[in-house]
Every structure is written in structure tokens, then in C-alpha cells.
Structure 1
Amino acid sequence: MHAACENRLSDLLPLLPHRFSEEELVQAVSTLIGRPIYVEARDMRGNFACGLRERYSDREVISFEIHTSPLHRSQIICHELAHILCGHKGSISYADIPSDEELADMIDWSVLGISARTSYEEQDEQEAELMASLIVQRMYRATVMPAQRPAAADERWNAMFT
């Protein structure tokens, strides 16, 4: 699983600068998959998950708990991005929910799949969490380590003096 996650990252990393932000990461994944990705904060206290990914035919929407720490927020966003990069369809589908009139009015039927971590028992969740940890590690390691292949002038100076 670790090797598969590293392989997927090798496709993504060339699209990112040495030091990259969450926004740059989201944009790079969006470019890689050819669909926009929207990230939004939601009050999810009391819900079953602290992060959520909704998969549509034309876009991805990632939601995270608004009342969490910056590091946890990064882990949540990277976890949901990892689901996208791994091609996970989602563990929850509206098609699996029995419909009645009241429920049918509440459902956005354009959602193709939903990922919401409630445990780490499923392989998709383990893979997404491992990949998220690898991404976050690179985000933070890059803030203190010089680029291995410095491209920009400031990266070359930093590499030379580090």
C-alpha cells in the first residue's frame, strides 16, 4: 500500500512547487483529474465525520470541520484528496438509501458518491489516510528542507546555504 501511495504521489509532485500550500495542492489535484475541486468549511460537530467528499460528474466537493486545528484541517483535506487520487468511488451512496417522499426531497441526486471516514477498517480509508500523511509530511518537510532539484532562484540559494 505504501508503494502504491508513493507511486501516485510521483504523478502529483511534478505539478507542485517545492514548497506548496493547501490551495496549490488542491489546484494540482484538480488539474490532474480534469475537474474542479471545491473546499468548504462546515460545522460538522455532532455528525459522524470531520471530513466529507462529495463526488459529482463535473466536480468534487471537500468539506472539513470548521472548528478544528490547522494541522487537523490539512490532514482532513489531504485525506479527501487522497480518495480522489486513489480513484475511490465513495463508501456511501444515495442509491443505497431507501427513498420515500420526505427523504427524496432532502437528497441531491446528482451526487455520485460520498466518502466520510467513520473508521479505519476499510482498505480505502487506510489507503487514504496513509497517502494523506505522506502528503502532509511533504508539505511540512518542504518548509525546512531545501529543494532536491532547485528550480527557482530562492530555492537554489536556499539549497546552497543549507
Structure 2
Amino acid sequence: MTSSVIAPRCTRLAPGERGGPIDERGLTELRAGARERVRTVLGAVPMPRPWSMNVWVDRLEAWRGREIDLVPVEYRPGRPSGAWQPRPDYDLIAYVEHTSALHQDHIIAHELAHMLCAHTGTCQMSESEAARLAPDLAPQALSHLLTRVTTGTDEYEAELIAVLLLSAATSEPPAVQPDASGRAAEQARRLAALLG
């Protein structure tokens, strides 16, 4: 029996770091921006019902006009659980292979958030170190795959967007009676349209 391993950080973080400090003065704007980004994405790329990350990623690819390859990798304690790497012709997202489907979806959503926000970082390890972390991937795929350090603000934003996306993916739109009226009915219709 394989046990699930919870890896608390994405590959964009350097070993031993948690993304640095968050400037709390901008959190209100960051949260509002994240919510707006999620509304925009979900307005253009609706969540499939029933939920499927693969189907939603296919829809994201069509919307963006750019392929997204999802690559499962083995997790090792102390190492990141996910990574996004923009390649010349496509985006590569690595995620932990041996964990629950919900955890995998969360890791992928977090990395998709980095992608949608176009977060950048700085190189932290060599290709040989990256190859040691993911020995089953081709060397071309490893080039700076596990090598980004982002700010705490970027990590916070990616995590918030991942939570908002998965909340939309796993919640059912509210049922609204066709003849219902008033503020609550209108809000429920807007939410149903956003989630549907």
C-alpha cells in the first residue's frame, strides 16, 4: 500500500525557504486581483461537470492556444511537490505522483496559478541537481524545471488562486428557482454562471 506524502511547497521555492516575507500592505489588492483573475479564467474556461483536471487543462490549452504537459514525478522528503516551467512551445507542470488525486489537483492548480499570473523567479540549481531530483525525465525536460524561487507574495497569490479554482471545481452551483427574484436569487444566478 502506497502512503500519501504531503509536500508543503512548490518547486519555485529554494530548499529551506518558504517564499520570503509577504508585504501585508498589498494583501487586500492581491486578494481582489486573485478573485478577479479566477472570475476571468472561469468565465472563459468553465469547469467541467463532473470535475476532471485533465478535461479542464485541455480547455485551458484551447483557450490559451498553448499546450500544457502534466508530468508526474516522485516526491522525496524535503523536496518540492510541484513545478511550472514555461518552454518555448508549451508549458510543463510537474506534480507529485504518489499522493491523493485531490492533492495532485491542488498542486497542479497552484502551478497553473503561477502560469496564469506569469510569475517569474531566479535559477537555484544546476541541470545535474534537477536530474537527480527527477531521474525519469528526459534531460531536455529538466532544464531549469525545478529551479525557481518566487516571492512570498507570488506563493500566496498562487495558493489563493488554487484554492479558489478547486473550490469552484468541487462545489455544485446553487439551485435557483426559475421564478425567484431579489438580491439573493441574482447572486445565486451569477455564482451558478461562474461555476457552471
TM-score (normalizing by structure 2): 0.59
2:34 is aligned with 1:5: yes
Q: Give the counterpart letter for 2:153 in structure 1.
A: Q
* Equivalent residue number for residue 70 of structure 1: 101
Structure 2 portions without partners, runs of 5+: 1-29, 132-138, 177-188
Residue aligned with 2:119, SS: coil
Q: 1:141 to 1:59 in 2, by over 3 A?
A: same
Whole-Å separation in 2 of the counterparts to 1:18 and 1:109: 29
Q: 1:98 to 1:80 in 2, by over 3 A?
A: closer
Higher relative contact order (CA 8 A, sep 6+): 2
* 8 A contact 2:82–2:111 mirrored in 1: yes
Which residues of 2 match residues 109-120 of structure 1 at below 5 A?
111=143
Which residues of 2 match residues 18-57 of structure 1 at below 5 A?
19=49, 20-46=51-77, 48-57=79-88
TM-score (normalizing by structure 1): 0.70
Shift of 1:46: 3.3
Shift of 1:3: 1.2
Q: % of aligned pairs identical?
A: 27
Q: Give the counterpart letter for 1:124 in structure 2.
A: D
Kindly tell me the number of residue pairs found equivalent between the two proteins: 142
* 8 A contact 2:83–2:145 mirrored in 1: no
* Equivalent residue number for residue 8 of structure 2: none
Q: 1:85 to 1:8 in 2, by over 3 A?
A: same
Q: Give the counterpart letter for 2:61 in structure 1.
A: S
* 8 A contact 2:113–2:161 mirrored in 1: yes
* 8 A contact 1:82–1:128 mirrored in 2: yes
Runs of 4+ residues over 3 Å off in structure 1: 96-99, 106-117, 144-151
Cα deviation 1:22-75 (Å, max 9, x = unaligned): 123212322333210011211122352011112112111111111111211111
* 8 A contact 2:126–2:144 mirrored in 1: no
* 8 A contact 2:53–2:105 mirrored in 1: yes
**CA RMSD, aligned part only?**
3.3
Whole-Å separation in 1 of the counterparts to 2:155 and 2:91: 18
Shift of 1:92: 4.2
Shift of 1:126: 0.7
Whole-Å separation in 2 of the counterparts to 1:57 and 1:26: 18
Q: 1:98 to 1:115 in 2, by over 3 A?
A: closer
